[in-house]
């Protein structure tokens, strides 16, 4: 990313223009890091060292906590759209092969009415991603910029003036300075950075692998598309190995923490909002069944099985009383 150590490349070209627009978010992140750092020093930790590393970790956790409500909203929007899929397909089949404008407009109106009646938004599952992306880009930018602020090669940013940035840049963890890159590190630092890169890629792979095994409908676990997904599960982590070699250690600390948080959030999502028809959804049905029976037992109500058995007995008794022949509708008497 930064081949010239005297120039911060993220401040030039298209990226420079984009990150300029995101300056308010970047400013806020520097303030959050500075607040955590001040709190840790008040607890007795040295101003230079692990306190800054923990401030990076706390920043990631705060950002994930702020994004969690958006993520939950995204999951609920996706579930609503999945529940409406059969009705949407019915409308689409109704107008299949009709390419005239009147038919297209009619299909659009029916789909919009379906969304409105069910309080569903097709963009609801995409909008949160548009919010999350820039937030994590800003985290990457801030941690990359501090090194250049310390050298006086970039203007101060938020809570990081040159003195504060220098304090950050002098910090080390596991015997590795947090501005060190793999290519310019000694043997000890390369081993530590290599472990962080390996863990970072492992958690990324584990999240994708677990999602494929647990949260895909069984019908989707075959065919060319599934094989492509399997290949991508390995491809992305391998690609990030080469990226990690060029990033300062501070960015790797952020990235590893972020991937661990993403993995934990993915576990929670698959447990709470599984995809219908997936192994995780089948397990959730069993859990929900057991919980409902436990609730009924505490309330002194019949279990689901007992209720179903009683219903079957009532149906059998009704058939015995009314007979098995279907009753013919009676004609209304003419007045």
SS3 of 85-151: HHHHHHHHHHCCCCCCHHHHHHHHHHHHHHHHHCCCCCCCCCHHHHHHHHHHHHHHHHHHHHHHHHC
For residue range 19-33, list pLDDT tens digits in order.
888 899 999 999 999
pLDDT, tens digit, for every residue of 273-288? Answer: 888 778 888 898 999 9
**Residues 265, 136: Cα–Cα separation, whole Å:** 15
Question: What local confidence, expressed as pLDDT, does residue 286 receive?
Answer: 92
Which parts of the chain have pLDDT scores under 70?
1-6, 82-83, 120-129, 219-221, 225-226, 323-335
Report whether 248 contacts 144 (CB < 8 A). Answer: yes
Residue 281: CB atoms within 10 Å:
17
What local confidence, expressed as pLDDT, does residue 28 receive?
92
Residue 173 phi/psi, 5-degree rounding, is -150, 140
* Contacts of residue 128, Cβ cutoff 8 Å, sequence gap at least 6: 67, 70, 71, 73, 74
pTM for this entry: 0.76
> What confidence tens digit (pLDDT) does each residue in 120-153 have?
666 655 666 677 778 888 888 898 888 889 888 8
CA 162 to chain CA centroid, Å, is 35
Q: Which two tokens stand for residue 22?
A: 């995101």
For the chain, what's the residue count?
A: 335
Angle at 304 (CA atoms; ends 299, 310), nearest 5 degrees: 105
For CA atoms 50, 56, 61, 66, the dihedral sign is positive
The partner residues of 173 in beta bridges, in order of sequence, read 176
Q: Which of 122, 107, 10, 69 is nearest to 265 (CA)?
A: 69
- What integer pLDDT is reported at residue 10 of this predicted model? 81
Are 136 and 258 a contacting pair, CB within 8 Å?
yes
For 249, how many CA atoms within 13 A lie in the half-sphere containing its CB?
Answer: 28
């Amino acid at each position: 990313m930064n081949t010239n150590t005297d120039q911060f490349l993220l401040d030039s070209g298209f990226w420079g223009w984009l990150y300029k627009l995101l300056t308010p978010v970047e400013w806020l992140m520097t303030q959050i890091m500075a607040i955590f750092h001040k709190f840790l020093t008040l607890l007795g930790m040295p101003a230079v060292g692990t306190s800054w590393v923990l401030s990076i970790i706390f920043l990631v956790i705060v950002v994930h906590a702020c994004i969690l409500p958006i993520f939950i909203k995204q999951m609920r929007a996706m579930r609503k759209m999945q529940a409406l899929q059969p009705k949407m397909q019915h409308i689409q089949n109704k107008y299949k092969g009709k390419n005239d404008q009147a038919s297209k407009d009619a299909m659009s109106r029916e789909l919009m009415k379906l969304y409105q009646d069910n309080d569903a938004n097709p963009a609801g599952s995409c909008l949160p991603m548009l919010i999350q992306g820039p937030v994590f880009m800003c985290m990457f930018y801030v941690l990359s910029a501090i090194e250049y602020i310390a050298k006086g090669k970039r203007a101060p940013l938020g809570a990081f003036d040159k003195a504060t940035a220098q304090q950050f840049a002098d910090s080390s963890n596991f015997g590795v300075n947090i501005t060190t890159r793999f290519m310019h590190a000694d043997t000890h630092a390369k081993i530590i950075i290599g472990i962080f890169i390996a863990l970072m890629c492992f958690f990324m792979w584990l999240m994708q692998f677990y999602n494929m095994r647990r949260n895909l409908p069984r019908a989707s676990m075959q065919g060319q598309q599934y094989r492509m997904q399997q290949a991508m599960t390995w491809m992305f982590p391998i690609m990030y190995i080469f990226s990690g070699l060029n990033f300062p250690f501070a960015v790797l600390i952020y990235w590893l923490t972020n991937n661990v948080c993403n993995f934990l959030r993915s576990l929670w999502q698959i447990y709470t909002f599984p995809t219908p028809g997936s192994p995780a959804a089948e397990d959730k049905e069993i859990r929900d069944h057991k919980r409902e029976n436990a609730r009924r037992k505490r309330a002194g109500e019949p279990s689901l099985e007992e209720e179903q058995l009683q219903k079957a007995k009532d149906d059998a008794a009704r058939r015995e009383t009314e007979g098995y022949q279907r009753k013919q509708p009676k004609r209304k008497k003419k007045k």
